[in-house]
Amino acid sequence: MESTAWIITVGILAMVILLFLIIRTKLQAFLALIIASLFVGLAVGMPPQELLAHIEEAMGGTLGFVALIIGIGTIFGEVLRASGASEKLALTLMDKFGEKNIVWALGASGFLISIAVFIDVAIVILVPLTYALVRKSKKSLLYYGIPLTAGLSVTHTFIPPTPGPIATASIIGADLGYVILFGVIAGIPAMIIAGPLFGKFISKKIHVDVPEHFKESEVNYDPDKLPGFAGVVIMLIAPLILILGNTTADLLLDEGNIVREILMFIGNPIIALLIVSLLTIWLYGTRRGFTKGELQKITTRALEPAGIIILITGAGGVFGQTLIATGIGDILADSMQQINMPIILFGFITAALIRITQGSGTVSMITAASLVSPLIQHFDVSEPMLGLVTIAIACGGTAFSHVNDSGFWMANRYFGMSVADTLKSWTVMKTLVGLTGLAVVLILSLFIK
C-alpha cells in the first residue's frame, strides 16, 4: 500500500496536470482527463496492463447510462428548437404575464426552455426577442436579459436531462428523481433572486441598448406556424414527471406491485426520454411537415455536441474511479471529518475552484464529481443526500463565470457590453444562481440524512 503522503501528492499533481493541460495547452478536456488518469494509476504503482483494463472498464461503466440519456435528450431538444417551440413558449408567456410582469415571464421561459435546449442555443434564439422590448420601453437590455439568462442558467445546470447534472449524478450514483426534485426546489428561488430581482437592480446601474451589430434585427414570427403553447409545456415537463414517478413508485409501492413495475419502467430516465422524444419527432416533426430527410438531419445535428459531452463524462468517470483505486477517498474522508466539513460543501467548493480556474461549467461539475465519488462510501450517504450533493456540485459549476468561460463571451456579444459591465452583470448573476442554490441545499440538508 502506498504511503498516505505519496497518495496525497499524486492527487495534487494529478489536478495540477489536469488544469495545466486544459488551461495552458488548451488540450481537449477528454484527453486531459485520460492523461491525468494514466498518471495517477502509474504513479501509485498499478501494473500498466491492469491500468488499461481499469480505464476501459471505468469508461464503459460510466457511459452505459449517460450516453443514452444525453444522446436521446439532445435529439428531443433539437426537434423542439427546430419546430419553433422555444419562441412559442417565450412569446406566449410574455403575452400572458403582461408588460408589467414581463421579467417574470422571461425568467419562467428560460427555466422551462433550458430543460431541453442547450443554454448557448437558447441564448441565440431568445435574447433577440428582448430587443423589440428594449426599443419600445427604452429600458436597459439587462432589465429583460438577466431574468431570461438566469432562468436558462438554473435549469441548464440544476435539472436533468441537461448534460451537467446527468453526468454528475451518474458519476456519484445519484437517483435522477431526487436530482430533479431538489433541482427544482433550489432552482426556483435561484431564478427569482438572480433573475427578476437582480435584473431590476443592475439595469438601473448599467444601461445597455441593443448592440450595434443587432440594430437591424427584428424578430417576427407567424403565430400560425408555431406549435401550440400547451403542447410545448407538456412535452418539456413530461420526462421530469415520468422520472419522478419512477422514484416515487420505488419508495411507496411494494415489490411485485404491477403499478410499481409499470411506473418504474416508463419512469426509467432512458425510457421516459425515449417516449417523449419519439412523440416530439412525430408531433413537432412529421405532423408539422418535416420530411424524413429533414428530420434525419435535425436529429443527426443534435448528436454532434452530445458526442463531446459524452466522452468528457466518460473520461471524468475514469478519473474518479482511478482516484478511488488509489485509496485517496479514505484520506479525504478522514481530513473532512477532522475539520467537520460537510460533503455538500466539499462538492460545491471543489466545483467552484475548478470552474474559476478553467471556465467550463460542465467540466468543473464532472471533475468535482470525480473527486467526490471516492468519499461516498465513507460517509454512508443516503439516496436523497446524493441528490443534494449533485445540486451542490452544480451550484459550484454555475457560479463565478468570468473571462475563461464561453458563456461569458456570448453574454458580452448579445448584450453588447464591455468586459467590465459583463463582469458586473453576467458574472454576478451566475454567482447569485450558484450561491442561492447552495443556500437552499444546505437548508434542505438539515432535514435530510
Question: Which are the contacts of 347, defined by CB distance < 8 A and separation ≥ 6?
Answer: 368, 369, 372, 389, 392, 393, 396
For residue 91, give the nearest of 80, 102, 81 by alpha carbon.
102
SS3 content of the chain, % helix, strand, coil (to 5): 80, 0, 20
Tally the domains of the chain: 1
Over 80: is that where the pLDDT of 297 sits? yes
pLDDT per position as a tens digit, 1-26: 457 778 778 888 888 888 888 878 88
The C-alpha cell of 280 is what? 416530439
Q: Please tell me the distance from the alpha carbon of residue 111 to that of residue 236, in angstroms, as a whole number.
A: 11
Q: What are phi and psi of 89, to 5 degrees?
A: -60, -50
d(C-alpha 165, C-alpha 431), whole Å: 18
Sign of CA dihedral 104, 110, 113, 116: negative
First to last CA, the chain: 33
Q: For residues 120-135, b (16+ Cβ closer than 10 Å) or e, as one string? A: ebbbebbbbbbbebbe
Dist. CA 276–CA 72, nearest whole Å: 10
What are 323-370's pLDDT values in tens digits? 777 777 667 667 766 777 888 999 999 899 888 887 778 888 988 898
User: Tell me, what's the pLDDT at 221?
Assistant: 55
Residues 6 or more apart whose Cβ sits within 8 Å of residue 115: 155, 159, 161, 162, 236, 237, 240
pTM comes to 0.83
Cell, residue 86: 422555444
pLDDT score at 148: 92
Range of the domain at 64: 4-445
3-class secondary-structure state, position 222: coil
Please list, in sequence order, all residues whose beta carbon lies within 8 angstroms of the beta carbon of residue 134, skipping any fewer than 6 positions away.
140, 141, 144, 209, 210
